[in-house]
Amino acid sequence: MTVPRPLASPPAAAAPPRWFRLPLAGKFAVAFVGLVSLVLLINGAVDLTLNYQDAKRTAIETQRTKARAAAERVDAFLSSIESQIGWTTRAEWRRVSPEQQRYDFIRLLRQAPAITEVAYLDPAGKEQLRVSRLEPDAVASGKDFSASPRFTQALAQKTWFGPVYFRRGSEPYMTVSVAHAGRDPGVTVAEVNLKLIWDVVSAINVGEHGYAFVTTATGRLIAHPDLSLVLRDTDLSGLPEVAAALPGSRMAGQDYEITTGLDGGWVLAAHATIPRVDWIVFVQESLRDAMGPALESVIQTTSLMGLGVLLAAVAGTFLARRMVVPIRELEDGAERFGAGDLSERIVIRTGDEIETLAHRFNTMASRVQESYETLEAKVEERTRDLNQSLDDLQRAQSRLVQSEKLASLGQLTAGIAHEIKNPLNFVNNFASLSNELVDELREVLEPTALDPDTRAEVEELAGLLKGNLEKVVQHGKRADSIVKNMLLHSRTGSGEHREVEVNALVEESLNLAYHGARAARPGFNVTLVRDYDPAAGLADLYPQEITRVLLNLMSNGFYATEKRAAEGEPGYAPTLSVTTRDRGDSVEIRVRDNGTGIPDGVKAKMFDPFFTTKPAGEGTGLGLSLSHDILVKQHGGTVDVATEPGAFTEFIISLPRQSVTPAAPPRPAAEPASETESQP
C-alpha cells in the first residue's frame, strides 16, 4: 500500500505531490531526520553564535588583560629604573663626598644595566658628576643644563622621562631625570638604553605565537622581541593596529583591533598605554590562536551537528525500517487473509500498536475461519437433512406408486373377480349337482339287470364321470379361492380394529399355520421356536388382517423348509422361529425360517402382486403383496426381509401400537354385490 506503484494513480488526475508518494519508511526517515536536523541546526546555530561571541569576548578580554599586564611590566621596568636612581636622590645626597657620589653612580650602573650613563646636575643646573660605561668619568665639568628640559621638567615633575632618541640612528635611548628630595634640589639624569626592555618584552607571554611590542606615541618601535626591528629604527605608525592606537586616531576609544599583522595574516591586537611616557604597549596574537576556542567551538559544534544528523539519519532509517517491516508483514498477512488463506497467522513481536493491530487481524482471521467452519457444518447438516428428506420423499413416492398400482390393480381385480365369480359359481354348483346326479344314476341302474359287462362298463363310466366332476368341483373351488383372495386383496382391511394381545395373536396364528400345514401335507415336520417378549403387550390392530399376514409368512416359511428338506440335505432340521419384541411405541415380530432363502433377483420383486416362485397352482403370488399392503398401508408399520440363500429368511415386522389410520383404504364396493350375485 505504501510501495510506490507507478500505475497506481493516473498522473493526469490530481496526483498527490511527490512527497506523499514516498514510501512510509522514506516519509518517516525524512520527517525524523528533518526534525532532528532542524533541532540540531537551530541548537548548533544558537550555540555557535553564543560560543563564538563568548569566545571572541573572552579572547578580546584576555588580550586586553595581557596588554594591560604587559604595560604594567614595561611600566615596572621604568619604575625599577626610577627607584634605582631613587637612592641617589636623597635630600642629603648632594652633601656626601664626590667620591661617595661617584661610587653611588658606579653602583647604580652596576645595578641597572640599562643605564649607560648617569649624571648629577646641581641645583643650578650645572653638571657636577657624570659616570658613563663608555667614557671617562667627568667630575665638575660644569656644563650648564639649567635650561634643558631634563633639569626643568625634573624639577617641575619630580621625575621626567625624556623623549626616546636613537643613538647612531640605531639604539633607542631615553633620558630619565629624577629631582632630588628636599629644598633647592639637584637632579640625577640617567641615559637609559631601551634595548634592555627587550628582556621584559620578550618575557611577556602572549599565546603561543603572539608577542608584545612597545612604540612611542608617534609609532616608533621601542621594544620588540625581535631586537633587530628596534635597532632598525622601525616606524610602525603605518601598521593598522598602531595607527588605530595612536593619539588622535579615530579608533582611539577602542583598545583592541582585528587586523593584519607585521608579517601579514590576521592578528588580534590589543594595546595599553603607559601614560607617564606616552608609550603604547601592544600585544598581538594571530587571530587563529586568539580565536582558537571560538574556532574549536565552531568545529566542535559543526562536527557534533554532523554527527547528530548522521546519527539521526541512521536512527531514522533504522526506526523507519523497524516500523515499516512489521507494516509490510501486516500488509502481506492482510493480503493473505484477503486471498482466503486463513491458515497462517501474522507474527509480529514489536510490542507496540502494530503488534496489537496484528493481533486484531489474527483475531479477525480466526473469527472468519470459525464462521467458515460453522457454515460448512451447517451446510453438511442441511445437506444430510435434505438427503434424508429426499430419501423419505422417494420412499414415499415409491410407496405411493406401489399403492396406486395396487389400488388400481385391486379395483381391476375386484371387477374381474366379481365377473368370474358368477360363472364359477355356476360351474361349481352344477358340477356338484352333476356329481350327485351321477350317484342318482348309479342308484337308478342298480336294480336293473344288466349284463355284467354292460354293468361293469356303466359302472366304469359313472366312476369316470364322477371322478371328472369331482375334479371340476375341486378346481372350481380352487378358482373360487383365488377369486376370493383377489377380492380380499383388493378389499384390504376387514373387520374392525381393537386392542389385541400381540403374543396371543402370534401364537394363535402359529398354531393355525402349523396345523394347516400338517393337514395339507401329512409328512410335514418342523421345529417351532417361540420367543415371546412378555412386554410386547397390546397393540391396536386389525387382528384378522394381521393373522392373515402372519399365516402367509409362516406358511411361506414352512414351504421353504419343506423345499429345503426335499433337497435331502443330511442332518437338516427344519426350524421356524417366531419372536416378539417390545420396541416402545411399536412392537416387533420376527418370523424366521432356515429354509432355502431368497435369491437377490427375487428379493426385489417379492412384494409385487402376482409374483410367485411356487409352481403353478400352489400360490397366487398375492400373499406377500397383500401382507405388505396390510402392514404398511393399513397399519403404518414396516416389513423388512433379511435373507441368505441356502441359509435362512427372516421377515421383520414392526407395528406401531397406535398405528391404525382412521382412513382405511376403501374397500372395493362391488364385493357385496358380487357375493349376492354369486349366490344364485
Partner 1 sequence: MVSRSSLHYGPSIDRGGRAEARGPLRAAGPRAGMWRDGRMRRRTVLAGLPLALAGWPRAARAQAQAHVGALWPFAEGDPEGRVLAEAFHAGLRDHGQPDQRVDDRWTGADRERARLLATELVAAQPQVIFAYLSAQLTAVASLTKQIPIVFVGASNPVRFGYVESLQRPGGNITGFTLYEAPLGGKWVAALKEAVPSLRRVTLLSNLSTEIRGENLYAEPFRTTATALGIEPVVVKIDEAAAIEPIVADLARQGDGGLIVAPGTFSEANGDQIVALTTSLRVPAVFAIRRFAYRGGLMSYGPDPVETVHRAAAYVGRILRGENPATLPVQAPTKFDFIVNLKAARSMGVTISSALLAQADEIVE
Nearer to partner 1 by Cβ, of 72 and 459: the residue is 72
Q: Which of 197-205, 272-280, 576-584, 619-627 is the region at the interface with partner 1 (rule: CB under 8 A)? A: 197-205
Q: Which residues contact 221 (CB under 8 A, 6 or more apart)?
A: 213, 214, 215, 229, 230, 233, 234, 235, 236
Cα separation, 671 vs 486, in Å, equals: 11
* Site residues (CB under 8 A) for partner 1, limited to 137-156: 137
Can you tell me which of 89, 193, 490, 612 binds partner 1, judged by CB under 8 A? 193
Interface pick for partner 1 out of 34, 35, 103, 307 (rule CB under 8 A): 103
User: Toward partner 1, which CB reaches closer, 116 or 620?
Assistant: 116
For 221, 352, 429, 620, the CA distances from 615, given in Å and listed in that order, are: 165, 92, 28, 10
Question: How many whole angstroms separate alpha carbon 288 and alpha carbon 246?
Answer: 25
CB 486 within 8 A of CB 415: no
Cα–Cα separations (whole angstroms), residue 8 to 3, 13, 19, 286: 10, 11, 15, 64
Position 133 contacts partner 1 (CB under 8 A): yes
591 contacts 578 by C-beta, under 8 angstroms: yes
Distance of alpha carbon 222 from alpha carbon 116, whole angstroms: 17
Q: Which of 29, 154, 196, 348 binds partner 1 (CB under 8 A)?
A: 196
Which of 558, 557, 511, 542 has its CA nearest to residue 636? 542
Going by C-alpha positions, the residue among 552, 462, 544 that lies closest to residue 500 is 544
Query: Judged by CB, which is closer to partner 1: 192, or 576?
Result: 192
CA-based nearest residue to 245, from 227, 234, 259, 257: 257
Contact 329, 348 (CB under 8 A): yes
Q: Beta strand 527-531 with 575-583: parallel, antiparallel or unpaired?
A: parallel
Q: Which is nearer to partner 1, 137 or 381 (CB)?
A: 137
- The CB-of-169 to partner 1 minimum distance in angstroms stands at 6
For partner 1, the binding residue among 92, 99, 263, 600 (CB under 8 A) is 99
Q: Is 195 in the site for partner 1 (CB under 8 A)?
A: yes
Min CB(212)–partner 1 separation in Å: 9
Judged by CB, which is closer to partner 1: 129, or 358? 129
Among 24, 36, 41, 106, binds partner 1 (CB under 8 A): 106
Nearest distance in Å: CB 159, partner 1: 18
Binders of partner 1: how many residues, by CB under 8 A? 53
Q: Which CB sits closer to partner 1, 62 or 678?
A: 62
Question: Residues 221-250: x/- map of binding to partner 1 (CB under 8 A)?
Answer: ------xx--xxx-----------------
If one asks whether residue 462 binds partner 1 (CB under 8 A), the answer comes out as: no
Q: Which stretch binds partner 1 (CB under 8 A): 198-206, 446-454, 567-575, 611-619?
A: 198-206
Closest approach of Cβ 265 to partner 1, in Å? 15
C-alpha cell of residue 571: 442332518
Q: Which is nearer to partner 1, 205 or 394 (CB)?
A: 205
Residue type, 625: S
Q: Which ranges of 447-590 would DSSP assign to H, the alpha helix?
A: 452-491, 502-520, 543-566
For residue 279, CA distances in Å to 55, 164, 196 come to 29, 10, 16
Q: Which of 29, 78, 108, 112 binds partner 1 (CB under 8 A)?
A: 112
Shortest Cβ distance from residue 6 to partner 1 (Å)?
52
In sequence order, what are the residues at sequence separation of 6 or more whose Cβ sits closer than 8 angstroms to the Cβ of residue 542? Answer: 493, 494, 495, 496, 497, 630, 634, 635, 660
> And the C-alpha cell for 391?
430419501
Q: Looking only at residues 292 through 321 of this chain, which bind partner 1 when binding is defined by CB under 8 A?
A: 292-293, 296
Q: 200 vs 473, which CB is nearer to partner 1?
A: 200
Give the whole-angstrom CA distance, residue 360 versus residue 337.
Answer: 13
66 contributes a contact to partner 1 by CB under 8 A: yes
> Is the Cβ of residue 211 or residue 558 nearer to partner 1 in the bound state?
211
Check residue 134 for interaction with partner 1 (CB under 8 A).
yes
Given 2, 37, 43, 80, the residue binding partner 1 (CB under 8 A): 80
Q: Which of 24, 30, 69, 437 binds partner 1 (CB under 8 A)?
A: 69
Residue 11 C-beta: closest distance to partner 1, Å: 55
Question: In this complex, which beta carbon is closest to partner 1, that of residue 26 or of residue 225?
Answer: 225
Tell whether residue 352 is a contact of partner 1 (CB under 8 A).
no
Q: How far is the CB of 127 from partner 1 (least distance, A)?
A: 15
Alpha carbon separation from 216 to 108, 149, 262, 300 (Å, rounded)? 26, 19, 17, 42
Residue 345 as a binder of partner 1 (CB under 8 A): the answer is no
The vertex-601 CA angle with 595 and 604, nearest 5°, equals 95
Q: How far is the CB of 316 from partner 1 (least distance, A)?
A: 31
Q: How far is the CB of 151 from partner 1 (least distance, A)?
A: 24
- Does position 62 interact with partner 1 (CB under 8 A)? The reply is yes
Residues near 350 by Cβ (< 8 Å), separated by ≥ 6?
Answer: 322, 326
**Cβ proximity of 290 and 265 under 8 Å:** no
Nearer to partner 1, 285 or 671 (CB): 285
Shortest spacing between CB 361 and partner 1, in angstroms: 56
Q: Does residue 76 belong to the site contacting partner 1 (CB under 8 A)?
A: yes
Any contact of residue 136 with partner 1 (CB under 8 A)? yes
The reply on whether position 341 binds partner 1 by CB under 8 A is: no
Query: What is d(CA 1, CA 332) in angstroms, rounded to the nearest whole number?
Result: 10
Per-residue burial over 93-121, b = 16 or more CB atoms within 10 Å of its CB, e = otherwise: bbeeeeeebbebbeebbeebebbbbbbbb
Report the SS3 class of residue 647: coil
Decide if residue 65 touches partner 1 (CB under 8 A). Answer: yes
Query: Of 21, 27, 107, 667, which one interacts with partner 1 (CB under 8 A)?
Result: 107
289 binds partner 1 (CB under 8 A): yes
User: What CA–CA distance (Å, rounded) separates 352 from 333?
Assistant: 17
Binding site for partner 1 (CB under 8 A): 58, 61-62, 65-66, 69-70, 72-73, 76-77, 80, 99, 102-103, 106-107, 110-114, 116, 132-137, 166, 168-171, 193, 195-196, 199-200, 203-206, 208, 227-228, 231-233, 289, 292-293, 296
